[in-house]
Amino acid sequence: MPIYNDIVMEHFMNPRNVGELENPDGIGTYGSPVCGDMMQITIKVVDEVIVDAKFKTFGCGSAIASSSMATEMIIGKTIDEALAITNKEIVSELGGLPAVKIHCSVLADHAIKNAIFDYANKQVKTYKGLEGYDPDEDADEQDIMEETGCTGPSCRG
């Protein structure tokens, strides 16, 4: 049974920024090819800065904690800064996740990028971090294993 640290437990028990923004500037959803769980992130952007973000997650406790932390991390950041956030940084801010749960943080990472991609399309803007990005393309399970540093079959759980 995975052991969660206090930061993860705190964000799971008291998640920040839960819900959906009214009239968001960008909406991003992402379904995990590893477990099938889903996440939605909505963002509000003013002068290239993400001023608000909310999430809805149909997933496990690690996904909820990752979403909560991810929304806290992007609020106040510029679009470019938010695009640069990786799932590894989300995991690091959470103080770590059990290896079998690292893939849950990928949901938040991809949902953020999809929300920014939606914003960019609506504003007809381009960002360096989105070059060649396809929001409909499922991340390859193998890529996730490599991205997250998880190499064992237990990470599929």
Out of 26, 28, 59, 98, which residue is the one contacting ligand FES (CB under 6 A)? 59
Catalytic site includes residue 104:
yes
Task: Name the nearest CA neighbour of 71 among 89, 54, 88.
Answer: 54
Considering 60, 104, 150, 155, which one is annotated as catalytic?
104
Task: Name the nearest CA neighbour of 5 among 61, 73, 68.
Answer: 61
**41 forms part of the interface with ligand FES (CB under 6 A):** no
**In which residue are the tokens 């932390």 written?**
69
- Residue 59 CB, nearest approach to ligand FES (Å): 4
**32 forms part of the interface with ligand FES (CB under 6 A):** yes
Considering 35, 60, 150, 155, which one is annotated as catalytic?
35
Out of 107, 108, 112, 115, which residue is the one contacting ligand FES (CB under 6 A)? 107
Catalytic site includes residue 150:
no
Instruction: Sheet containing 49-58: give its strands across.
Output: 26-31, 38-46, 49-58
- Residue 128 CB, nearest approach to ligand FES (Å): 28
CB burial of 52-86 (b: ≥16 within 10 Å; e: otherwise) equals bbbbbbebbbbbbbbbbbbbbbbbebebeebbebe
**15 forms part of the interface with ligand FES (CB under 6 A):** no
**60 forms part of the interface with ligand FES (CB under 6 A):** yes
How many whole angstroms separate alpha carbon 157 and alpha carbon 153? 8
**87 forms part of the interface with ligand FES (CB under 6 A):** no
Name the one range near ligand FES by CB under 6 A: 56-64, 79-87, 114-122, 146-154.
Answer: 56-64
Name every residue whose Cβ is closer than 8 Å to that of residue 44 and which is 6 or more positions away in sequence. 21, 24, 25, 50, 51, 52, 53
How many whole angstroms separate alpha carbon 141 and alpha carbon 102? 12
Catalytic residue annotation: 35, 104
Q: Which residues bind ligand FES (CB under 6 A)?
A: 32, 35, 37, 59-60, 62-63, 101, 104, 107
